[in-house]
Structures are given as C-alpha cells and as structure tokens.
Amino acid sequence: MSQMRETFAAARAEGRAALIGYLPAGFPTLADSVSLIEAMVENGVDIVEVGLPYSDPLMDGPVIQEAAERALAAGCTTPHVLDVVQAVSRLGAPVTVMSYWNPIEQYGPQRFAQELSAAGGAAVITPDIIPEEAADWTSVTDEASIERIFLAAPSSTDERLESVVRSCSGFVYAASLMGVTGTRTSVSGAAEKLVTRLRPLTHLPIAVGLGVSTPAQARQVAGYADGVIVGSAFVRRVLEGRNPREAARGVSQLAADLAEGVRAAG
C-alpha cells in the first residue's frame, strides 16, 4: 500500500476524513514555505499539497495568484519546488505537487516524475490536463512510482467521470464547483452530489476541494468525503501575517481548527 493510501486508511480507521493542506513553494520565501508547511503538519494536516508557482494559473483565484506571483518574483523555479518537496517529505506526511501542465512539459515529464520521486514526493495533481491527453504522463509516473490525481467536475458526464477515475491512482480530486479557487461562505451542494456519483466508479479515496476554508465547512465535507482540501484559506493567513512568526501562528491555528473540524464529522 502506498504512503498516500496508508494515510487515508489511517484516517478512516479513526472515523474521519484526511485533511489536505495546500501552500505554494517559495511563498513568501523558500525557507518560509518549508517552515509554514511544517507548522501545518504539526497541527493536523495529513497530506501536503505543494503548489508549483505558474505565471498563468487559470483555475486559481486572486489569493493564490498573488502568492504565486510573489514566489515567482522571488525567483522560485521548478528545481526549487523539488527542494521544498524534499525538505517537507521528512515530516512523514505524503507530499503531492499541484502543477499546471505547462511547467511539467517544459521541464520534461519523465525528468519531473523521476526527480519528484527522488525527492520523496508521492503524487502530482494536474488540474488542466485530461486523461485522454495523458498517456505519456501515465507511463512516466508509473515508472517513477508517482501517483496521479486528476480533477472531477460537477459538470462532468458519467462517461467523463469514468475516464477520470480510471486514470487516477492516488485519490480523486472532486471539485466542489465550477470556478476558480478561493474561500467562500458555503460549500456548494454540487460537491456532495459529485461524490455520490463517483462512489460506484472507484475504490480510490475521494477528496473535495475548492472553497473549503472554515472548520464548519471542513466538518460538512468530511461527512461525505474521504479527504478535505484547503488551499486559499492557508494562503490568506500567510498574506495577513505581518511577519513570518505571525504567519506561522495563523497557519498553525487554522490547521488545528480544521483538524478539529474533520474529526467532529465522525
């Protein structure tokens, strides 16, 4: 069983969903991103999602866009992202990279998969490539023992959902809505319907992302999903911090509150 599957199984054994926390590498600096992710894991995040900063993040809202812009302006590159993965993989939580396809294609898919594996990475989330265009990616990730995570959308046909789950090997990322990332006052009801549609199609864990930002929302999603993905809310805590120490306190508190939320659902 892979590290990712083991983590989901351990959470399930505790009667709860896994908490997945996102932060871009290099934000606000390389060293700070490592320290902040460490704080997230120490306070209850089960799976780490490291963002690969990209100049044209079509699916990301203004909060994550600002973080990516800051990381890129500070000189964050793909090798730096892999350095962050290597640094945080020692924490014991599975590490997945969230990346648009263009940076991976430019770096070389085989090289990226192999170097990610060597750095201790477990998986890659690719939000903008569809399974029909990912045959080579499937081959190189299988060779490198890197798990693939594709997105399932509420608007997807049953045929599309079947294709997505067949191509996933880590977990299935169920997008709670059609739109960009960002915190919201409530989680779309489409999320639960999408999870219900996915259940008969796969034995893989199903994690819900986009829009989850509060303990109450985490508890709600944990009631029907295997994983709860939180991104913009963590990034916002860093942006609101007046210094690295304050940012770390904000991230730590949010992680602890969200961890309590997913446990309360059980």
Element (H, E) at 54: none
Query: For 141-205, what is the HEC assignment?
Result: HHHHCCEEECEECCCCCHHHHHHHHHHCCCCEEEECCCCCCCCCCCCCCHHHHHHHHHHHHCCCC
**Mean of the pLDDT values across residues 124-138?**
93
- Give the tens place of pLDDT for each residue, 209-241: 987 889 999 999 999 999 999 999 999 999 999
Q: Name the amino acid, one letter, at 6.
A: E
- Give the tens place of pLDDT for each residue, 105-123: 999 999 999 999 999 999 9
CATH assignment, 3-264: 3.20.20.70
- Give the tens place of pLDDT for each residue, 61-106: 889 999 999 999 999 999 999 999 999 999 999 999 999 999 999 9
Active-site annotation holder among 32, 38, 49, 192: 49
Report the alpha-carbon distance of residue 254 to residue 216 in Å, rounded: 12
Active-site annotation holder among 32, 46, 60, 192: 60
Those residues with Cβ within 8 angstroms of residue 110's Cβ, 6 or more apart along the chain or in another chain: 140, 143, 144
Considering the entire predicted model, what is its pTM? 0.94
For the record, the structure tokens of 163 come out as 């294709």
Of 138, 142, 145, 23, whose CA–CA distance to 88 is shortest? Answer: 23
Q: What DSSP string describes 108-142?
A: -HHHHHHHHHHTT--EEE-TT--GGG-HHHHHHHH
List, in sequence order, every residue forming a beta bridge with 95; answer none if it has no partner. Answer: 48
Active site residue 49: yes
